[in-house]
Amino acid sequence: MNAEFIEALEQIEKDKGIGKEVLIEAIETSLVTACKNHYGTSHNIKVEIDNENGDISVYAEKEVVEEIEDDQVEITLEDAKAMDQRYAIGDIVNIEITPKNFGRIAAQKAKQVVVQKIREEERKVLFNQYYEKEKDIITGIIQRRMGKNVVINLGKVDAVLGETEQVQSEPYNPNERYKVYIVEVKDTTKGPKILVSRSHPDLVKRLFEQEVPEIYEGIVEIKSISREAGSRTKLAVHSMDSDVDSVGSCVGQNGARVNVIVNELRGEKIDIVTWSEDAKVYIQNALSPAKVVTVDVNEEEKTAKVVVPDYQLSLAIGKQGQNARLAARLTGYKIDIKSESQVKETHFIEDETQETQETEEV
């Protein structure tokens, strides 16, 4: 343990970002354990390493007392004053007990501690680096399939794209680049375990924040997202500035902004609608691109009855009910959609029933 050792620690600090003081403290702790094994655990041992030249000193800490009960941890006032007249009852005296050939033991321990500490600190740095990106997106490269999971390299660490977080229409071929949403970062003994997603609705939200300056700056707010990954997403937006068009900002000139996101989502369709405090207007917007005739809302039960033109019924409902389903998730309302002819037919049946009842009563 000498100046060269201190220089090595300084180089580690520079290369690995692990403080020299952190390493020295860890070595001192390790050497205390080694000394206690040598002297017996009843000793109060303190180890000090000189930060400049690497010299090591081992001390037994003893309390100054009037009458000794345990000479391994106590010293008389008379003996203490023989060392320094300033000592008084209750003071702690450091008595140097550095063993012979302790440098060899110290070097072995130091090597073990430094290697272990480097691993721990590198793992901690790596964890913190990706933990800061939790709930955000990052670009990764597909490595391989592992059972039903996909392994994605994020640069310094691999992440796991679980089966439920995948988009079934996406191939995930090796070496392809994908942007993924970091769902969770766990700290483990083998390093950070990172779980990512391609199906999470917030992936779309983060992509819009990256692509649309008005959203990033808070001028346009994403109020709600409903998504069926790989197929269609509905996005409700609201402008905090009356001079800024919320939908136009997201779409961009000639669709430039939204097309970047559609391409990243491998062709997933995106409906961008205007959010409104008025539930009727909001539901009408949410059913876009279908045209709506009337909306009847029950705010207490969170239900809505919607009437659309006959030729718009299939569009309003969507393929396998997708448009209506996404609109319901977006708004938080249970939506019942009928065409104008269905409503007239219902009214006609109700009128006939009423007439029949009145005739029977007569």
Enter the tokens of residue 112.
């073990």
- Written as six digits, the tokens of 334 are 């249970």
Pairing between β-strand 149-153 and β-strand 158-161 as defined by DSSP bridges: antiparallel
% of the chain surpassing 90 pLDDT: 61
Which one, of 285, 339, 328, lies nearest residue 304 by Cα? 328
Residues 83 and 26 in one domain: yes
Per the structure, how many domains does the chain have?
A: 4
Residues 10, 118, single domain; the answer is yes
Question: What pLDDT score was predicted for residue 48?
Answer: 83
Tell me which of 120-129, 189-198, 335-344 is least confident. 120-129
Give the CA distances from residue 151 to residues 127, 166, 174, 196, in Å, rounded to whole numbers and listed in that order: 18, 11, 9, 10
**Backbone φ and ψ of 62, nearest 5°:** -130, 140
Q: CA-to-CA distance for 33 and 105, rounded, in angstroms?
A: 12
Q: Of the residues 245, 275, 305, which one is the last residue of a structural domain?
A: 275
Check whether residue 61 and residue 121 sit in a common domain.
yes
CATH of the domain at 306: 3.30.300.20
- Verify that 268 and 299 share a domain, yes or no: no
pLDDT of amino acid 356: 47
Asked if residue 180 and residue 107 are part of one domain, the reply reads: no
| Residue ranges in the chain assigned as alpha helix (H) | 3-16, 20-39, 77-83, 102-131, 201-211, 213-216, 246-251, 256-264, 279-286, 313-317, 322-331, 340-361
In 3D space, the residue among 74, 75, 27, 77 whose CA is nearest the CA of residue 54 turns out to be 27
**285 and 249 fall within a common domain:** no
End of a domain among 197, 222, 250? Answer: 197
Whole-number pLDDT of residue 51: 80
Domain that holds residue 171: 135-197
pLDDT in the model for residue 37: 72
DSSP string, 290-303: S--SEEEEETTTTE
Q: pLDDT tens digits for 39-94?
A: 665 568 888 888 877 788 888 889 999 888 888 888 999 988 899 899 999 999 98
Cα distance between residue 24 and residue 46, in whole Å:
13
Q: Write out pLDDT tens, residues 136-148.
A: 999 999 999 999 9
Cβ contacts of 120 within 8 Å, gap of 6 or more? none
Cis amide linkage into residue 289, ω under 30° from 0: yes
pLDDT level of residue 1 (50, 70, 90 thresholds)? low
Other CB atoms within 10 Å distance of the CB of residue 284: 24
Q: Show Cβ contacts of residue 305 under 8 Å, excluding neighbours closer than 6 positions.
A: 295, 296, 336, 338
